């Protein structure tokens, strides 16, 4: 959410009122119906229940497979607690799989979860479609890899060692990918098609969105109609608005219209078994192109690490120089076969120093990626990893040996029988104390917020003396949250006092009883600055943003810049994710929101010339807001203060005032419904107005054979010629509209309705529909500019405006009884008629314009502005954010130590790169003394001294980061009351 540069994200919750299907519905927004069906038949084995294994299991269970079996022979020990979030202190010495079982099962009641405490055997593996190995030996990986490859079982190997991670996939000899990227098929409206070999298609849009090799189908073509039944055709892109197709020289002449729609093609991938893939350097997928040599070295180093454990019987000890030398020698020996051009011995040594570590953020990232691969293996949706991936965050280590803290030695990194032993092994005990002293502000306790809180608890952020976490989120828990906000459970839904922030805080206190955390339910905006003011921010060490909109992130970023506090920011959009770390004076800030106006649908398109289902859905949303919310709000404001309301309304301009007062009069005067029959009558007349009369008026102004001034057809290109509809009570969509519209209309007036269609049909028989005659005086605007000019010209019915003013000058005596009930659009309740109305209203308008309609699922996704979140991406993003948190707490001052990230798990695209530095300006600040006691001559002398001083300090001494002092970098003339002392303080 709020990701900048590459993605713009918003996370909005999605839901279903039926507890038996909501998980599937949530997943379908990302994966689709067929993929979710396949998920529901898959049985998955996850071996190893340390931190990485439980992370993968959590994500897979939330995704909605048929069953998950967790296997582990090991017993819980303190080293596990740094990343295994489902272990309690009472589980020490008990089997990890059994100890985690009950809490894993509670994640999703529709997934059967079981535990296996015996060793892995081929007979066990045969029961599963997907096998995931974590915390396994190379011998087991090769043995089971060969077995899985020959038996058609998808194998995923995931491992983390300290700050490094490894992922491997083998999906067999032939694996069919049904949808390579999950993106909505691109489409473009056609402007012209040539008769040639090949034919050239020119599109109306400036960018058609296709790429070379795309396959498209053509439809709605007039003239060259043979293309409509020609079938999918491969294209060659000629330009951003044109492409070539098949030979059209024998076809009839193109006349007008047509839509080109991308046809998704399946793809067959081949995988090598693990033992063959080990020696194939071409199968290495890069995540950080600045670390290519490191990751090539890590491929050998992980193999050598397995050899080290086999020879010595343990992992290298933390900070043991002798163990590191042995591992370097073993890697050097392996390289005699691999022949790497460059072997990075520093990476091997760092891996040896930290391999005993077990870090929650690294497990969260690799665990998110691995769980996404499980979903790909189950569904055939998205492109799987081919075949090795390595990740390292070795830049988290102190920039000096111990940085600001202690020197890292075998002693300072040795275990202490603490829940943080896995982290101390990497960073030392002094750093752990520093983590515990941190004071952080987390804004948002949704999908990413839950993952961040889990990581905070595991790493001990704010869990020491003087440390503290403040989390705020004003939302309550909805059923749709449960598929990726894993701190919440079914029993938390619908309980008013159980707000997200409070429930999340309680959940992480269970994970780590030492957590010092306070939950707030405040919205972060200027109104809450009395709570989150200067003193609050100056008492923080940092801020983490887990917000669901760009505007809130921009505001929070501004507060952090103002108080020079670092900020961690992350967002997701389905399988895509982004992270950004803002370090005062070192990296760029999040910055102001970029305008989205270039993507806004023109108002005239919505009102008169829609050509996509997105247009009709937005129109339906606007209808909903205007009819059922804004109208009622205006009436209530009028009742509270009639004179003040009229004054404010008239001050907004005559055009807008007329519109608002007509709306108020409708809710106050004779049009107010007296019972349910009136609501049905209103809905039926509304149907007639929208889908018959308005279209007839539009065609009266612009007939179907209308020509433009240049002699071209008016109804061409993006302008689809509409046709009126005739109401038919036997038509389901027609009745759906009337039922939903009547019930919603009744709700704003406090009138109880019904879903009984037969009873509503009986009422409809008595409804009078006034005859309609198009008017020649009506002007329909072709552009938004025309509409704005018309508004500004003042050409409107001023007589009607004066009439309404007079009628509304005295409110009714019984105004309290006439109060209305505005409706806020709520997409998550299938019984409230909201989505019913949107789907029917949109599809009827689509029928007017011959636009392909959308089913309820797609309509809800678009109209509800649902941008789905899934557990895998949120886990990975939160992991990367906390990797940057390590660096902030270390106090890193090299920008090369930090990383911004862009990920797309659908295609296993993971790019980590150095963030940009802050924009800098050189400024000269002028001042005038305003001390009245100073003689004018003395003022001029002092001013010359100041300016001279400024010239001496110009250049680097007066370079201020734009993200540190926004708005202050300008002439002091804008602050004429500053005195010399204040100005000199700024200069120095």
**Structure token digits, residue 19:** 């507890």
Rounded Cα gap, residues 90 and 78, in angstroms: 11
State the distance between the two ends of the chain, measured CA to CA, in whole angstroms: 40
Q: How many CB atoms lie within 10 A of CB 41?
A: 12
Q: Strands 388-392 and 284-285, how do they pair?
A: parallel
3-class SS at 912? strand
Tell me which residue of 887, 876, 893, 813 sits closest to 364, measured CA to CA.
876
Q: Give the number of C-alpha atoms closer than 13 A to the C-alpha of residue 14, restricted to the C-beta side.
A: 30
Tell me which residue of 2, 56, 59 sits closest to 27, measured CA to CA.
59
Q: Which residues pair with 385 in a beta bridge?
A: none
Dump the DSSP string for 155-192.
EEEEEEETTEEEEEEE--S-EEESBSS-PPPPEEEEEE
Rounded Cα gap, residues 392 and 290, in angstroms: 12
856-863 and 834-848 helices, crossing angle to 10° = 100
Tell me the chain's radius of gyration from C-alpha atoms: 33
In Å, how far are 153, 499, 528, 635 from 472, measured between CA atoms?
45, 10, 11, 34
3-class SS at 711? coil
Rounded Cα gap, residues 925 and 960, in angstroms: 12
Edge-to-edge, what's the strand order for the sheet holding 43-47? Answer: 112-116, 67-71, 43-47, 130-134, 154-161, 164-170, 388-392, 284-285
Rounded Cα gap, residues 755 and 741, in angstroms: 11
Rounded Cα gap, residues 913 and 901, in angstroms: 6
- Compute the residue count for the chain: 988
DSSP character for 357? -
In Å, how far are 365, 450, 579, 905 from 910, measured between CA atoms?
11, 22, 11, 8
Dump the DSSP string for 478-533.
-GGGGGT-TT--GGGTT-TT-BHHHHHHHHHHHH-TT--EEEE----SGGGTTTSS
**Structure token digits, residue 251:** 């076809």
Q: Give the number of C-alpha atoms closer than 13 A to the C-alpha of residue 743, restricted to the C-beta side.
A: 19
Tell me which residue of 277, 280, 278, 284 sits closest to 385, measured CA to CA.
284
Q: Strands 67-71 and 43-47, how do they pair?
A: parallel
Which one from 169, 378, 604, 882 is the annotated catalytic residue?
604
Q: What is the dihedral of CA 272, 276, 279, 281, to 10 degrees?
A: -10
Q: Who contacts 242 (Cβ-Cβ below 8 Å, separation ≥6)?
A: 200, 201, 202, 203, 208
Catalytic residue at 413? no
Tell me which residue of 83, 117, 112 sits closest to 99, measured CA to CA.
117
Where in the sequence numbering do the catalytic residues fall?
604
């Amino acid at each position: 959410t709020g990701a900048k540069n590459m993605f713009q994200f918003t996370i909005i919750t999605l839901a279903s009122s039926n507890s038996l299907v909501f998980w599937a519905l949530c997943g379908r927004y990302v994966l689709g119906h067929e993929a979710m069906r396949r998920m529901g038949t898959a049985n998955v084995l996850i071996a190893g229940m340390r931190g990485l294994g439980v992370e993968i299991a959590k994500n897979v269970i939330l995704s909605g497979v048929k069953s998950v079996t967790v296997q582990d022979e090991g017993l819980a020990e303190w080293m596990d607690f740094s990343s295994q979030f489902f272990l309690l202190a009472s589980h020490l010495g008990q089997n990890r799989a059994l100890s985690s079982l009950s809490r894993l099962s509670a994640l999703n009641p529709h997934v059967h979860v079981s535990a296996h405490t015996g060793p892995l055997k081929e007979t066990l593996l045969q029961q599963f479609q997907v096998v995931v190995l974590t915390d396994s030996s190379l011998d087991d990986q090769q043995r089971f890899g060969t077995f899985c490859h020959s038996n058609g079982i998808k194998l995923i190997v995931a491992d983390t060692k300290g700050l490094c991670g490894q992922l491997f996939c083998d999906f067999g000899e032939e694996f069919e990918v049904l949808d390579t990227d999950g993106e909505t098929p691109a489409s473009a409206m056609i402007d012209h098609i040539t008769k040639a070999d090949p034919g050239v298609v020119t599109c109306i849009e400036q960018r058609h969105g296709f790429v070379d090799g795309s396959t498209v189908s053509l439809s709605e073509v007039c003239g060259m109609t043979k293309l409509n039944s020609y079938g999918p055709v491969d294209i060659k892109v000629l330009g951003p608005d044109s492409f070539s197709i098949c030979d059209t020289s024998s076809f009839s002449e193109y006349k007008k219209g047509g839509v080109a729609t991308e046809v998704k093609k399946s793809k067959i991938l081949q995988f090598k078994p693990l033992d063959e893939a080990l020696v194939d350097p071409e199968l290495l997928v890069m995540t950080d192109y600045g670390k290519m040599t490191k990751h090539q070295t890590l491929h050998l180093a992980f193999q050598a690490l397995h050899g080290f454990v086999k020879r010595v019987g343990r992992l290298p000890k933390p900070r043991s120089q002798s163990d590191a030398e042995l591992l370097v020698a073993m890697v050097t020996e392996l390289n005699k076969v691999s022949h790497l051009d460059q072997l990075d011995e520093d990476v091997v040594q760092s891996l040896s120093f930290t391999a005993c570590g077990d870090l929650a953020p690294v497990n969260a990232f690799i665990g998110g990626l691995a769980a996404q691969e499980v979903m790909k293996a189950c569904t055939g949706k998205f492109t799987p990893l081919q075949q090795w991936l390595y990740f390292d965050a070795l830049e988290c280590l102190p920039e000096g040996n111990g940085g600001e803290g202690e020197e890292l030695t075998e002693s300072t990194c040795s275990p202490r029988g603490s829940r943080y032993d896995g982290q101390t092994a990497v960073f030392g005990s002094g750093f752990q104390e520093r983590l515990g002293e941190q004071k952080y502000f987390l804004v948002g306790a949704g999908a990413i917020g839950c993952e961040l809180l889990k990581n905070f608890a595991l790493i001990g952020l704010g869990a020491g003396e003087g440390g503290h976490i403040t989390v705020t989120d004003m939302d309550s828990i909805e059923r749709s949250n449960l598929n990726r906000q894993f701190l919440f459970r079914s029993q938390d839904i619908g309980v008013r006092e159980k707000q997200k922030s409070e429930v999340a805080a309680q959940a992480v206190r269970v994970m780590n009883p030492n957590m010092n955390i306070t939950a707030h339910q405040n919205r972060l905006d200027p109104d809450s600055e009395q709570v989150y003011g200067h003193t609050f921010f100056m008492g923080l060490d940092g801020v983490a943003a887990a917000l669901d909109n760009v505007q809130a992130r921009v505001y929070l970023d501004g507060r952090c810049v103002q108080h020079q506090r670092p900020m961690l920011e992350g967002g997701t959009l389905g399988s895509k994710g982004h992270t950004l770390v803002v370090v005062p004076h070192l990296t760029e800030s999040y910055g102001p929101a970029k305008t989205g106006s270039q993507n806004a649908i023109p108002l005239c398109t919505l009102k008169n010339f829609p050509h996509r289902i997105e247009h009709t859905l937005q129109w339906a949303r606007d209808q909903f807001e205007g009819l059922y919310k804004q109208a009622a709000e205006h009436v209530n404001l009028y009742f509270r203060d009639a004179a003040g309301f009229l004054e404010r309304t008239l001050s907004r301009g005559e055009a807008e005032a007329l519109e608002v007062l007509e709306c108020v009069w409708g809710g106050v005067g004779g049009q107010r419904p007296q019972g349910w029959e009136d609501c049905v009558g209103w809905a039926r007349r509304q149907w007639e107005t929208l889908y018959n009369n308005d279209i007839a008026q539009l065609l009266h102004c612009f007939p179907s054979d209308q020509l433009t001034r240049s002699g071209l057809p008016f109804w061409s290109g993006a302008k689809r010629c509409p046709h009126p509809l005739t109401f038919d009570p036997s038509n389901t969509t027609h009745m759906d509209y009337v039922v939903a519209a009547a019930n919603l209309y009744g709700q704003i007036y406090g009138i109880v309705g019904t879903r009984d269609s037969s009873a509503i049909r009986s009422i409809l028989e008595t409804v009078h529909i006034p005859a309609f005659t198009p008017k020649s005086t009506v002007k329909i605007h072709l552009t938004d500019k025309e509409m704005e000019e018309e508004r500004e010209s003042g050409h409107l019915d001023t007589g009607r405006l004066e009439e309404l003013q007079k009628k509304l000058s005295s409110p009714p005596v019984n105004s309290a009884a006439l109060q209305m009930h505005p409706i806020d659009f709520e997409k998550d309740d299938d019984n409230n008629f909201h989505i019913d109305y949107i789907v029917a209203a949109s599809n009827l308008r689509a029928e007017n314009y011959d636009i392909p309609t959308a089913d309820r699922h797609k309509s809800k996704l678009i109209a509800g502005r649902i941008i789905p979140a899934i557990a895998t991406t949120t886990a990975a993003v939160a992991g990367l954010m906390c990797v940057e948190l390590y660096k902030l707490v270390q106090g890193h001052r090299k920008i090369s130590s930090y990383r911004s990230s862009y990920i797309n798990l659908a295609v296993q695209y993971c790019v980590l790169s150095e963030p940009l530095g802050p924009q800098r300006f050189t400024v000269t600040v002028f001042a005038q003394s305003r001390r009245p006691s100073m003689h004018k001559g003395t003022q001029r002398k002092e001013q010359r001294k100041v300016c001279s001083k400024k010239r001496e300090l110009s250049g680097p001494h007066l370079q201020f980061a734009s993200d540190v002092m926004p708005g202050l970098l300008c002439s002091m003339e804008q602050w004429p009351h500053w005195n010399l002392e204040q100005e000199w303080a700024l200069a120095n």
